[in-house]
Amino acid sequence: MSDKKVLMITKRVCPYCERAKVVLNKGLEGKYNDRIEFFVREDDEKRFSDLREKYHFLTVPTFIDKKTGDVLSDSKPETITAFMKKAFGE
**What is residue 57's three-state secondary structure?**
coil
Neighbours of 62 (CB within 10 A): 23
Report how far residue 38's alpha carbon sits from residue 34's, in angstroms, rounded to the nearest whole number: 10
Q: What pTM was estimated for this model as a whole?
A: 0.94
Q: How do the pLDDT tens digits run along the chain, 90 residues long?
A: 458 999 999 999 999 999 999 999 999 999 999 999 999 999 999 999 999 999 999 999 999 999 999 999 999 999 999 999 999 998
Instruction: Calculate Rg over the CA atoms of the chain.
Output: 12
Report how far residue 73's alpha carbon sits from residue 60's, in angstroms, rounded to the nearest whole number: 6
Beta bridge partners of 64: 7, 71
Amino acid at 39: F
